[in-house]
Protein backbone atom coordinates (compact mmCIF):
# COMPACT_ATOMS: atom_id res chain seq x y z
CA UNK A 1 0.00 0.00 0.00
CA UNK A 2 1.34 3.43 -0.89
CA UNK A 3 1.81 6.11 1.75
CA UNK A 4 -0.89 8.19 0.06
CA UNK A 5 -3.38 5.29 0.11
CA UNK A 6 -2.64 4.52 3.76
CA UNK A 7 -3.15 8.17 4.69
CA UNK A 8 -6.46 8.38 2.78
CA UNK A 9 -7.69 5.19 4.40
CA UNK A 10 -6.81 6.35 7.93
CA UNK A 11 -8.27 9.83 7.40
CA UNK A 12 -11.52 8.41 6.07
CA UNK A 13 -12.17 6.20 9.10
CA UNK A 14 -10.89 8.83 11.53
CA UNK A 15 -13.30 11.29 9.99
CA UNK A 16 -16.20 8.86 10.28
CA UNK A 17 -15.49 8.26 13.97
CA UNK A 18 -15.08 11.98 14.64
CA UNK A 19 -18.36 12.78 12.95
CA UNK A 20 -20.19 10.07 14.86
CA UNK A 21 -18.78 11.35 18.15
CA UNK A 22 -19.66 14.91 17.29
CA UNK A 23 -23.22 13.91 16.54
CA UNK A 24 -23.52 11.97 19.78
CA UNK A 25 -22.14 14.85 21.89
CA UNK A 26 -24.10 17.69 20.35
CA UNK A 27 -26.52 16.91 17.55
CA UNK A 28 -27.85 20.48 17.47
CA UNK A 29 -24.40 21.96 16.99
CA UNK A 30 -23.66 19.46 14.25
CA UNK A 31 -26.88 20.40 12.46
CA UNK A 32 -26.17 24.10 12.81
CA UNK A 33 -22.75 23.74 11.22
CA UNK A 34 -24.23 21.55 8.46
CA UNK A 35 -21.80 18.73 9.27
CA UNK A 36 -22.74 15.77 7.09
CA UNK A 37 -22.03 12.07 6.99
CA UNK A 38 -19.17 11.28 4.56
CA UNK A 39 -21.66 9.77 2.10
CA UNK A 40 -24.21 12.60 2.37
CA UNK A 41 -24.45 14.85 -0.69
CA UNK A 42 -24.88 18.57 0.10
CA UNK A 43 -26.44 20.36 -2.89
CA UNK A 44 -26.19 23.99 -3.96
CA UNK A 45 -29.74 24.75 -2.85
CA UNK A 46 -28.97 23.57 0.66
CA UNK A 47 -30.75 20.24 0.32
CA UNK A 48 -29.03 16.95 1.07
CA UNK A 49 -29.29 13.37 -0.14
CA UNK A 50 -29.85 10.82 2.61
CA UNK A 51 -26.57 9.18 3.66
CA UNK A 52 -25.81 5.57 2.95
CA UNK A 53 -25.77 3.21 5.89
CA UNK A 54 -22.28 3.19 7.37
CA UNK A 55 -20.57 -0.19 7.92
CA UNK A 56 -18.24 -0.78 10.86
CA UNK A 57 -14.55 -0.08 10.26
CA UNK A 58 -12.25 -2.99 9.38
CA UNK A 59 -10.81 -4.97 12.29
CA UNK A 60 -7.26 -4.82 10.91
CA UNK A 61 -5.50 -1.63 9.80
CA UNK A 62 -4.58 -1.19 6.16
CA UNK A 63 -5.20 -3.56 3.29
CA UNK A 64 -5.57 -7.22 4.27
CA UNK A 65 -7.61 -9.96 2.56
CA UNK A 66 -8.42 -13.69 2.62
CA UNK A 67 -8.55 -13.85 6.44
CA UNK A 68 -8.33 -17.23 8.12
CA UNK A 69 -9.65 -16.90 11.67
CA UNK A 70 -9.00 -19.52 14.37
CA UNK A 71 -9.09 -19.85 18.14
CA UNK A 72 -6.47 -21.60 20.26
CA UNK A 73 -7.14 -21.58 23.99
CA UNK A 74 -8.58 -18.18 24.89
CA UNK A 75 -6.94 -16.32 22.02
CA UNK A 76 -8.25 -15.65 18.53
CA UNK A 77 -5.91 -15.44 15.55
CA UNK A 78 -6.24 -14.05 12.04
CA UNK A 79 -3.91 -15.10 9.24
CA UNK A 80 -4.55 -12.70 6.33
CA UNK A 81 -2.85 -11.91 3.06
CA UNK A 82 -1.25 -8.51 2.51
CA UNK A 83 -3.20 -6.59 -0.10
CA UNK A 84 -2.74 -3.39 -2.04
CA UNK A 85 -0.68 -4.51 -5.04
CA UNK A 86 -1.83 -5.27 -8.57
CA UNK A 87 -1.77 -9.04 -9.08
CA UNK A 88 -1.55 -9.77 -5.34
CA UNK A 89 2.25 -9.78 -5.28
CA UNK A 90 2.92 -10.27 -1.56
CA UNK A 91 5.76 -12.63 -0.62
CA UNK A 92 5.15 -13.17 3.12
CA UNK A 93 2.49 -14.11 5.66
CA UNK A 94 1.59 -12.41 8.94
CA UNK A 95 -0.44 -13.17 12.07
CA UNK A 96 -2.65 -11.09 14.38
CA UNK A 97 -4.12 -12.12 17.75
CA UNK A 98 -6.94 -10.88 19.98
CA UNK A 99 -8.79 -11.70 23.19
CA UNK A 100 -12.01 -9.93 22.20
CA UNK A 101 -12.18 -9.85 18.36
CA UNK A 102 -11.85 -6.06 18.53
CA UNK A 103 -8.31 -5.23 19.62
CA UNK A 104 -5.66 -7.01 17.57
CA UNK A 105 -1.95 -7.51 18.18
CA UNK A 106 0.31 -7.76 15.15
CA UNK A 107 2.87 -10.57 15.48
CA UNK A 108 4.54 -9.52 12.24
CA UNK A 109 5.82 -11.78 9.49
CA UNK A 110 5.64 -15.51 10.34
CA UNK A 111 6.69 -17.04 7.01
CA UNK A 112 8.63 -15.65 4.03
CA UNK A 113 8.59 -17.07 0.53
CA UNK A 114 12.09 -17.34 -0.91
CA UNK A 115 13.56 -17.41 2.60
CA UNK A 116 11.70 -19.81 4.88
CA UNK A 117 10.18 -21.48 1.81
CA UNK A 118 12.87 -22.18 -0.77
CA UNK A 119 10.83 -23.67 -3.62
CA UNK A 120 9.15 -20.38 -4.56
CA UNK A 121 9.42 -16.66 -3.86
CA UNK A 122 6.14 -15.25 -5.18
CA UNK A 123 2.37 -14.96 -4.71
CA UNK A 124 1.73 -15.45 -1.00
CA UNK A 125 -2.00 -16.01 -1.29
CA UNK A 126 -4.73 -17.30 1.02
CA UNK A 127 -3.42 -19.40 3.96
CA UNK A 128 -5.02 -21.64 6.59
CA UNK A 129 -3.98 -23.10 9.94
CA UNK A 130 -4.81 -26.21 11.96
CA UNK A 131 -3.45 -27.83 15.11
CA UNK A 132 -2.84 -31.47 15.96
CA UNK A 133 -0.24 -33.52 17.85
CA UNK A 134 0.80 -30.42 19.82
CA UNK A 135 1.94 -28.68 16.62
CA UNK A 136 0.53 -25.92 14.42
CA UNK A 137 0.34 -26.55 10.68
CA UNK A 138 0.24 -23.53 8.39
CA UNK A 139 -1.03 -24.25 4.87
CA UNK A 140 -0.21 -21.69 2.21
CA UNK A 141 -0.99 -20.75 -1.36
CA UNK A 142 2.34 -19.94 -3.05
CA UNK A 143 2.94 -19.52 -6.79
CA UNK A 144 -0.29 -21.50 -7.36
CA UNK A 145 0.94 -24.45 -5.31
CA UNK A 146 -0.10 -25.44 -1.80
CA UNK A 147 2.63 -25.71 0.81
CA UNK A 148 2.75 -26.50 4.51
CA UNK A 149 4.87 -25.18 7.37
CA UNK A 150 5.07 -26.31 11.00
CA UNK A 151 5.59 -24.49 14.32
CA UNK A 152 5.27 -24.99 18.07
CA UNK A 153 3.11 -21.88 18.54
CA UNK A 154 0.28 -20.31 16.52
CA UNK A 155 2.50 -17.35 15.60
CA UNK A 156 5.60 -19.31 14.66
CA UNK A 157 8.38 -19.31 13.81
CA UNK A 158 7.28 -21.68 11.04
CA UNK A 159 9.54 -23.95 9.02
CA UNK A 160 8.95 -25.94 5.84
CA UNK A 161 9.20 -29.69 6.60
CA UNK A 162 8.89 -30.84 2.97
CA UNK A 163 11.07 -28.54 0.90
CA UNK A 164 8.51 -28.83 -1.89
CA UNK A 165 4.76 -28.25 -2.37
CA UNK A 166 2.28 -30.44 -0.55
CA UNK A 167 -0.08 -30.10 -3.54
CA UNK A 168 1.79 -29.18 -6.75
CA UNK A 169 0.17 -27.01 -9.39
CA UNK A 170 -1.22 -28.88 -12.38
CA UNK A 171 -1.64 -32.22 -10.60
CA UNK A 172 -5.44 -31.81 -10.56
CA UNK A 173 -7.57 -29.56 -12.85
CA UNK A 174 -8.17 -26.01 -11.62
CA UNK A 175 -5.94 -23.56 -9.83
CA UNK A 176 -4.09 -25.02 -6.83
CA UNK A 177 -4.82 -22.35 -4.23
CA UNK A 178 -6.94 -21.64 -1.12
CA UNK A 179 -6.13 -24.52 1.25
CA UNK A 180 -8.30 -25.21 4.28
CA UNK A 181 -7.88 -28.01 6.85
CA UNK A 182 -10.73 -29.29 8.99
CA UNK A 183 -9.93 -31.52 11.98
CA UNK A 184 -12.91 -33.66 12.98
CA UNK A 185 -13.90 -34.67 16.51
CA UNK A 186 -12.13 -38.01 16.14
CA UNK A 187 -8.85 -36.34 15.13
CA UNK A 188 -9.11 -37.11 11.42
CA UNK A 189 -7.95 -34.15 9.31
CA UNK A 190 -9.13 -33.20 5.82
CA UNK A 191 -7.52 -30.86 3.32
CA UNK A 192 -9.73 -28.82 0.97
CA UNK A 193 -8.48 -26.63 -1.85
CA UNK A 194 -9.03 -25.29 -5.33
CA UNK A 195 -10.20 -22.45 -7.54
CA UNK A 196 -12.60 -23.49 -10.29
CA UNK A 197 -12.77 -26.97 -8.76
CA UNK A 198 -13.04 -27.97 -5.11
CA UNK A 199 -11.11 -30.98 -3.84
CA UNK A 200 -10.90 -32.85 -0.55
CA UNK A 201 -8.51 -35.51 0.72
CA UNK A 202 -7.94 -37.06 4.12
CA UNK A 203 -4.53 -36.12 5.48
CA UNK A 204 -2.22 -38.68 6.99
CA UNK A 205 -1.59 -38.60 10.74
CA UNK A 206 1.53 -36.45 10.18
CA UNK A 207 -0.65 -33.64 8.68
CA UNK A 208 1.91 -33.06 5.90
CA UNK A 209 1.13 -35.92 3.50
CA UNK A 210 -1.78 -37.76 1.91
CA UNK A 211 -2.60 -40.56 -0.53
CA UNK A 212 -3.17 -38.98 -3.99
CA UNK A 213 -5.57 -41.79 -4.81
CA UNK A 214 -7.85 -40.49 -2.06
CA UNK A 215 -8.43 -37.07 -3.62
CA UNK A 216 -12.09 -36.43 -4.36
CA UNK A 217 -13.63 -33.65 -6.45
CA UNK A 218 -16.64 -32.15 -4.62
CA UNK A 219 -17.29 -28.93 -6.60
CA UNK A 220 -20.79 -27.59 -5.75
CA UNK A 221 -22.84 -25.39 -8.13
CA UNK A 222 -21.59 -21.80 -8.24
CA UNK A 223 -18.27 -22.63 -6.61
CA UNK A 224 -15.29 -20.43 -7.45
CA UNK A 225 -12.80 -20.56 -4.55
CA UNK A 226 -12.19 -20.20 -0.81
CA UNK A 227 -13.56 -23.47 0.57
CA UNK A 228 -14.12 -23.57 4.34
CA UNK A 229 -15.63 -26.38 6.44
CA UNK A 230 -17.23 -26.40 9.88
CA UNK A 231 -19.21 -28.96 11.82
CA UNK A 232 -22.25 -28.20 13.97
CA UNK A 233 -24.58 -30.68 15.66
CA UNK A 234 -23.37 -33.53 13.47
CA UNK A 235 -23.77 -31.67 10.17
CA UNK A 236 -20.82 -30.68 7.98
CA UNK A 237 -21.03 -27.31 6.27
CA UNK A 238 -18.94 -26.57 3.19
CA UNK A 239 -18.80 -22.84 2.50
CA UNK A 240 -17.22 -21.15 -0.52
CA UNK A 241 -16.95 -17.89 -2.47
CA UNK A 242 -18.78 -17.26 -5.74
CA UNK A 243 -17.80 -14.87 -8.57
CA UNK A 244 -14.32 -13.39 -8.90
CA UNK A 245 -12.74 -11.54 -5.99
CA UNK A 246 -12.54 -8.40 -8.19
CA UNK A 247 -16.29 -8.54 -8.83
CA UNK A 248 -18.50 -6.43 -6.50
CA UNK A 249 -20.89 -9.43 -6.48
CA UNK A 250 -18.27 -11.64 -4.76
CA UNK A 251 -20.19 -13.52 -2.06
CA UNK A 252 -20.34 -16.64 0.12
CA UNK A 253 -22.63 -19.65 -0.27
CA UNK A 254 -22.83 -23.00 1.52
CA UNK A 255 -24.01 -26.59 1.37
CA UNK A 256 -24.31 -29.45 3.85
CA UNK A 257 -23.41 -33.12 4.13
CA UNK A 258 -23.29 -35.95 6.65
CA UNK A 259 -19.62 -36.56 5.75
CA UNK A 260 -16.54 -34.31 5.57
CA UNK A 261 -15.78 -35.94 2.19
CA UNK A 262 -19.15 -34.88 0.78
CA UNK A 263 -21.07 -34.79 -1.43
CA UNK A 264 -22.42 -31.43 -0.27
CA UNK A 265 -25.93 -30.31 -1.21
CA UNK A 266 -26.16 -26.57 -1.83
CA UNK A 267 -28.70 -24.85 0.40
CA UNK A 268 -31.72 -23.14 -1.12
CA UNK A 269 -31.12 -19.85 0.69
CA UNK A 270 -27.87 -18.50 -0.74
CA UNK A 271 -25.70 -16.48 -0.64
CA UNK A 272 -25.44 -16.03 3.11
CA UNK A 273 -22.78 -13.30 2.90
CA UNK A 274 -22.73 -10.58 0.25
CA UNK A 275 -22.20 -6.87 -0.18
CA UNK A 276 -24.82 -4.23 0.45
CA UNK A 277 -24.71 -0.47 0.02
CA UNK A 278 -21.17 0.76 0.60
CA UNK A 279 -20.01 -2.81 1.23
CA UNK A 280 -18.88 -4.52 -1.98
CA UNK A 281 -16.97 -7.68 -2.77
CA UNK A 282 -17.69 -9.34 0.60
CA UNK A 283 -16.25 -12.85 0.55
CA UNK A 284 -13.31 -15.22 0.97
CA UNK A 285 -14.37 -15.93 4.51
CA UNK A 286 -13.51 -18.15 7.44
CA UNK A 287 -15.52 -19.07 10.53
CA UNK A 288 -14.71 -19.46 14.21
CA UNK A 289 -16.76 -20.84 17.12
CA UNK A 290 -16.46 -19.39 20.61
CA UNK A 291 -15.08 -22.34 22.62
CA UNK A 292 -17.78 -24.22 24.49
CA UNK A 293 -20.62 -22.04 23.16
CA UNK A 294 -22.92 -22.08 20.14
CA UNK A 295 -21.71 -18.63 19.12
CA UNK A 296 -20.04 -18.14 15.75
CA UNK A 297 -18.28 -15.36 13.87
CA UNK A 298 -17.33 -15.01 10.24
CA UNK A 299 -14.21 -13.16 9.05
CA UNK A 300 -14.14 -11.93 5.46
CA UNK A 301 -12.77 -9.21 3.26
CA UNK A 302 -14.56 -6.45 1.38
CA UNK A 303 -13.42 -3.75 -1.01
CA UNK A 304 -11.71 -1.12 1.12
CA UNK A 305 -13.87 1.89 1.91
CA UNK A 306 -13.71 4.43 0.34
CA UNK A 307 -11.10 3.64 -2.34
CA UNK A 308 -11.15 -0.14 -2.62
CA UNK A 309 -11.09 -2.72 -5.38
CA UNK A 310 -10.26 -6.39 -5.85
CA UNK A 311 -6.64 -5.46 -5.15
CA UNK A 312 -7.36 -3.12 -2.22
CA UNK A 313 -9.40 -4.99 0.36
CA UNK A 314 -9.87 -4.87 4.12
CA UNK A 315 -10.73 -7.48 6.76
CA UNK A 316 -13.99 -7.50 8.72
CA UNK A 317 -15.74 -9.75 11.25
CA UNK A 318 -19.49 -10.18 11.77
CA UNK A 319 -21.64 -12.54 13.84
CA UNK A 320 -22.91 -15.66 12.05
CA UNK A 321 -26.10 -17.36 13.23
CA UNK A 322 -28.07 -20.52 12.56
CA UNK A 323 -31.80 -21.04 12.22
CA UNK A 324 -33.75 -23.64 14.21
CA UNK A 325 -33.41 -26.04 11.26
CA UNK A 326 -29.62 -25.64 11.17
CA UNK A 327 -29.60 -23.34 8.16
CA UNK A 328 -27.04 -20.52 8.14
CA UNK A 329 -28.76 -17.16 8.38
CA UNK A 330 -27.79 -14.24 6.18
CA UNK A 331 -24.88 -12.31 7.68
CA UNK A 332 -25.43 -8.63 8.45
CA UNK A 333 -22.33 -6.88 7.09
CA UNK A 334 -23.27 -3.79 9.12
CA UNK A 335 -23.10 -5.65 12.45
CA UNK A 336 -19.67 -5.53 14.13
CA UNK A 337 -18.26 -8.45 16.07
CA UNK A 338 -17.42 -8.43 19.78
CA UNK A 339 -17.48 -10.98 22.56
CA UNK A 340 -20.16 -10.34 25.19
CA UNK A 341 -19.12 -10.55 27.91
CA UNK A 342 -15.44 -10.06 26.99
CA UNK A 343 -13.53 -13.32 27.23
Q: Point out the residues that are catalytic.
A: 66, 225
Domains assigned to the chain = 3-49 (no CATH), 64-320 (2.115.10.20)
Over the stretch 124-146, which tens digit does the pLDDT of each residue have?
999 999 999 999 999 999 999 99
Share of the chain above pLDDT 70, in %: 84
Over the stretch 18-34, which tens digit does the pLDDT of each residue have?
443 333 333 333 333 23
Query: Mean pLDDT in the chain?
Result: 89
The answer to whether the predicted template modeling score (pTM) of the entire model surpasses 0.85 is: yes
Q: 37 or 98: whose pLDDT is higher?
A: 98
Range 186-193, long-range pairs (CB < 8 A, 24+ positions) = 187/132, 188/260, 189/130, 189/132, 190/229, 190/260, 190/261, 191/139, 191/166, 191/167, 192/227, 192/228, 192/229, 192/238, 193/146, 193/167, 193/227
Over the stretch 244-301, which tens digit does the pLDDT of each residue have?
999 999 999 999 999 999 999 999 999 999 999 999 999 999 999 999 999 999 999 9
Burial class (CB in 10 A: 0-12, 13-18, 19+), 331: buried
Cβ pair 113, 94 in contact under 8 A? no
Q: Tell me, what's the pLDDT at 124?
A: 97
pLDDT above 50 (res 17) = no
Over the stretch 151-172, which tens digit does the pLDDT of each residue have?
999 999 999 999 999 999 999 9
Q: Tell me, what's the pLDDT at 97?
A: 98
Amino acid sequence: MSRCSRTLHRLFWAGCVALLLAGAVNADAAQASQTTHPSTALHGDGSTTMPQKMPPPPVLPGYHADPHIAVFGDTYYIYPTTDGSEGWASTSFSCMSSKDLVHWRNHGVILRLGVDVTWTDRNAWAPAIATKNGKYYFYTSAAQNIGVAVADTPHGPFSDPLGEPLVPRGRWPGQTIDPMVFVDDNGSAYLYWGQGNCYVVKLNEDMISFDPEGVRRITPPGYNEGAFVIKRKGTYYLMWSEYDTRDPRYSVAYGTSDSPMGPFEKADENPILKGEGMVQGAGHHSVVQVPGRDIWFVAYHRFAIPDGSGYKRETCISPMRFGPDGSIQKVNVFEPAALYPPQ
